[in-house]
Amino acid sequence: MKKKITTPVLEEELKKLRVREIVYLSGDIYTARDKACQRIVEYTGTNSPGTGSEKEIPVPEGAVLYHCGPLIRRKSNGNGNGNVDGDWEIIAAGPTTSSRMEETSQEIIEKLRIRAIIGKGGMGVSTIAAMRKYGCVYLAMIGGAAVLAARCIKPIKAVYWIDLGLAEAVWHLHVEDFGPLIVCIDTSGNSLYEEIAEEARRKVLDLAQTYTHTDDENIDTVYKNG
């Protein structure tokens, strides 16, 4: 079943999504890979009210994160901090393997109340627990569709932390019908990856039992004919 959702996404809306559903997303998303995620965690850890040491995090609460290091081309000169669409062009924007961000994802979901993470390959147990606790979903983007993904990105609204490098910077993007995205982990903690793994285990056991039964019959036949 195909569904369309628009940011900002309400938790109540996400709770209606189920594993295996197809989603198309419109609105604002933020890219974040290894270095950006590490810095977000670092900044959330040092931002204590009243200390005067607050550091700005470009990803707002309730945002959608995209595990992606886009291929970027500069179209004009800019200052590298909050540049608008006219300065940059995205050539390709395929997903990054999300397990690379497993170490930081649980804390980011907790601190920023992230509503959805887009990526590929799924997340680990600790992140799934955080998704269940704070109402977040994991949406898988098809691997190898980097150019298709780039076509769904309309304006580049801003870029932050460009000192990390173009691929590792945080890109604030506006997307239209971004997808198809597959709901692979829902707010109840159900995981399509775990379901597929369980189905595979059952099939392996069934095959093993079948071959074992066949081998036993063949041995009996050999003894009888011997």
Residue 89 confidence (pLDDT): 86
DSSP 107-171: HHHHHH---EEEEBS---HHHHHHHHHHT-EEEEEPTT-HHHHHHTEEEEEEEE-GGG-TTTSEE
Q: Average pLDDT in the 3-21 region?
A: 92
In the chain, where are the structural domains located? 2-190, 193-226
What's the length of the chain? Answer: 226
CATH number of 2-190: 3.20.130.10
16 versus 214: which is more confidently predicted?
16
Least confident of 6-15, 76-85, 106-115: 76-85
pLDDT band at 53 (very low <50, low <70, confident <90, very high): very low
Question: What's the pLDDT tens digit per position in 65-78?
Answer: 999 999 988 876 55
Q: Does 38 score more than 70 pLDDT?
A: yes
- Alpha helix stretches (DSSP H) within the chain: 11-14, 34-46, 102-112, 125-134, 146-151, 192-225
Q: Average pLDDT in the 20-39 region?
A: 95
Q: Does 197 score more than 80 pLDDT?
A: no
Share of the chain above pLDDT 90, in %: 60
H/E stretch holding 28 reads strand 22-31
Residue 222 confidence (pLDDT): 47
Least confident of 97-101, 186-190, 220-224: 220-224
Number of other residues whose CB lies within 10 A of the CB of residue 199:
10
Question: What's the pLDDT tens digit per position in 114-138?
Answer: 999 999 999 999 999 999 999 999 9
Residue 51 confidence (pLDDT): 47
Task: Kindly report the average pLDDT of the chain as a whole number.
Answer: 85
Q: Are 23 and 9 in contact (CB under 8 A)?
A: no
Residue 87 confidence (pLDDT): 79
